[in-house]
């Protein structure tokens, strides 16, 4: 089973970075898909347009945990503008790939970041959609209602 995952995926699954909650977060986003059971919550602490801290809580398979972890690593310390450029493809590449059936996990990780950024803008009284875009979740890779590991 582990052979279908890269060493980086296994490392981020076994030793996830930035796990937990941020009590003083000023942006929180949650996404999930009932078809596959993966639920991701991202917490952002943004100061002067920079993501000073980020944490996540994920309920899901190993790939969901690994993609959440990698997404936090990729944008921590970055500007909002840089974080908005995060794509699921960048998460997959940073993890040295994912099996096709698990690519949806990287989509959820990207969407969790965008959901947290949308929340940040809402708290500022700004409509996030023109900045962040419309949030969409895609779990078409899930078969029979279970993504399993």
Question: Domain residues of the chain, as ranges?
Answer: 2-125
pTM above 0.75, yes or no: yes
Catalytic residues: 36, 105
Instruction: Scan for tokens 């890269």, then name that residue.
Output: 6
CA 68 to chain centre: 4
pLDDT in tens, 1-10: 457 899 999 9
CATH class of 2-125: alpha beta
pLDDT per residue over 47-63, tens digit each? 999 999 999 999 999 99
β-strand pairing of 27-32 with 50-59 = unpaired
């Amino acid at each position: 089973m582990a052979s279908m995952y890269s060493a980086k995926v296994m490392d981020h699954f076994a030793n996830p970075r930035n796990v937990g909650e941020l009590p003083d977060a000023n942006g929180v986003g949650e996404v999930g898909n009932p078809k596959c059971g993966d639920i991701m919550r991202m917490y952002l602490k943004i100061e002067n347009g920079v993501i000073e801290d980020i944490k996540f809580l994920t309920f899901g398979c190993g790939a969901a945990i690994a993609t959440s972890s990698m997404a936090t690593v990729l944008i921590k310390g970055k500007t909002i503008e840089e974080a908005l450029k995060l794509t699921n493809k960048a998460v997959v590449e940073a993890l040295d790939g994912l099996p096709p059936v698990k690519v949806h996990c990287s989509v959820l990780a990207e969407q969790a970041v965008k959901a947290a950024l949308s929340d940040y803008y809402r708290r500022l009284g700004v409509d996030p959609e023109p900045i962040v875009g419309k949030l969409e979740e895609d779990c078409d890779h899930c078969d029979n209602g279970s993504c399993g590991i």
